[in-house]
Amino acid sequence: MSKKANNKSTNSSATIALNRRAKHDYFIEERIEAGLALEGWEVKSLRAGRVSLQEAYVVVRRGEAWLVGSNVTPLATASTHIKPDPTRSRKLLLHKRELSRLVGSTERAGYTLVPLDLHWKRGRAKLNVGLAKGKSSTTSGRQERSGLEATKRALTETPYAISTSEEILAGNFALV
- Same structural domain, 42 and 19: yes
Number of domains making up the chain: 2
Residue 84 domain flag: yes
What residues have CB less than 8 Å from 151, skipping those under 6 apart? none
Residue 162 sits in which domain range?
141-175
In this prediction, residue 89 carries a pLDDT of: 93
Residues 77 and 111 in one domain: yes
| Claim to verify: residue 113 and residue 158 sit in the same structural domain | no
Do 121 and 48 lie in one domain? The reply is: yes
Classified as helix, coil or strand, 24 is helix
CA distance readout (Å), 16 to 34, 69, 70, 122, 124: 15, 17, 13, 14, 12
- CB-CB neighbours of 119 under 10 Å: 19
pLDDT at 19: 87
Whether 84 and 171 map to the same domain: the answer is: no
CATH number at residue 72: 2.40.280.10
| pLDDT tens-digit map of 86-120 | 889 999 999 999 999 888 888 888 788 999 999 99
pLDDT band at 33 (very low <50, low <70, confident <90, very high): very high
Bridge partner residues of 126 (DSSP): 35, 119
The mean-pLDDT minimum among 18-22, 83-87, 162-166 falls in: 162-166
Q: Are residues 129 and 146 in the same domain?
A: no
What's the rounded mean pLDDT across residues 23-34?
88
What mean pLDDT is predicted for residues 120-147? 78
State the pLDDT confidence band at 146, using cuts at 50, 70 and 90.
low
Whether 107 and 30 map to the same domain: the answer is yes
Cα gap 120→50, rounded to integer Å:
14
Q: 170 and 121, same structural domain?
A: no
Q: DSSP class of residue 106?
A: H
Q: Are 94 and 34 in contact (CB under 8 A)?
A: yes
Q: In the predicted model, is pLDDT for residue 31 greater than 60?
A: yes
State the pLDDT confidence band at 8, using cuts at 50, 70 and 90. very low
For residue 164, what pLDDT is reported?
62
Whether residue 160 sits in one domain with residue 75: no
Is a pLDDT exceeding 50 seen at residue 152? yes
The more confident residue out of 151 and 114 is: 114
> Residue 10: inside a domain, yes or no?
no
Whether residue 116 lies inside any domain: the answer is yes
- Helix, strand, coil: what percent of the chain each, to 5? 30, 35, 35
In angstroms, the CA 8 to CA 167 distance is 81
Confidence of residue 170 (pLDDT cuts 50, 70, 90): low
3-state class (DSSP) for residue 115:
strand
Average of per-residue pLDDT values in the chain: 79
Cα dist. 139→132, 135, 144 in Å?
Answer: 15, 6, 7
Q: What is the pLDDT of residue 115?
A: 94
